[in-house]
Every structure is written in C-alpha cells, then in structure tokens.
Amino acid sequence: MKRTIEIDGKEITFKATARTPLLYKQWVGRDLFLDIQHIQTDKESALDVLGDLAYVMAKQADPSIGDIDEWFDQFGMFSIYMALPQLQDMWSAEMSSSVETKKKARGRKGS
C-alpha cells in the first residue's frame, strides 16, 4: 500500500507492506512489533517509534532517501508528527489486509 502525504509543502510517498517490519529491523535496529507493544505502556516513546516507522515507510517507497537524521532535517519542528495519524491509518489498513489474507488462505486449506 502506498500513500503520498504533503509535509512542509513536500510530497512524501510512504509504503507499507509485509516487508516493512523487516526493513524496520534492518534500518532502525529494533523489532517493530515489540516497539508497538512497548508504546502501549510507555506513551512517551510513541513519537520516537512512529517517527522511525515513518522514516522506514518513506525509505521503502523511495530507496534514494539518505539516513534518518538527514530525512528528518528536511522538515520543520513537529511537521512530520502532524502526518502520523495518516501513517497510523495506513499501517492499520495494511495490518488488517494482511490478517484478512491469512484468514482467506486458511479457509481455502480447510475446504
């Protein structure tokens, strides 16, 4: 799933697929699902995790993006965080789509 969002007057494309958690681990060095569980109990870390996820989804859509610090430096203070609700919706939709695909595949096996 791809979505383009305007941030600070720039069109930024984000991509979320089954590969996103693997890239998150590779580029950020942490497990995405553990980070998501962690933010349920530690709301202060939510901006860091969601910011890292935004970077991974942008870099997945455009591999020419440099390192995370350079990427964040192109935005004004907090502007990337204004896009986080849209990115959360995108991630949730991708997760729901993945779960539905698994359910359909299991249903076909049992037929």
Per-residue pLDDT for 74 more than 70?
A: yes
Give the DSSP letter of residue 78.
T
Paired strand residues for 11: 6
Q: Which of 45-49, 60-64, 76-80 has the lowest mean pLDDT?
A: 76-80
Largest CA distance in the chain: 54
C-alpha to C-alpha distance for 62 and 39, rounded to whole angstroms: 27
Phi then psi for 110, rounded to 5 degrees?
A: -80, -10
CA-closest candidate to residue 55, choices 83, 89, 34: 83
Which tens digit of pLDDT belongs to each residue from 95-109? 776 555 555 555 665
Q: Is 57:15 a contact under the CB 8 Å cutoff?
A: yes
pLDDT of residue 77: 79
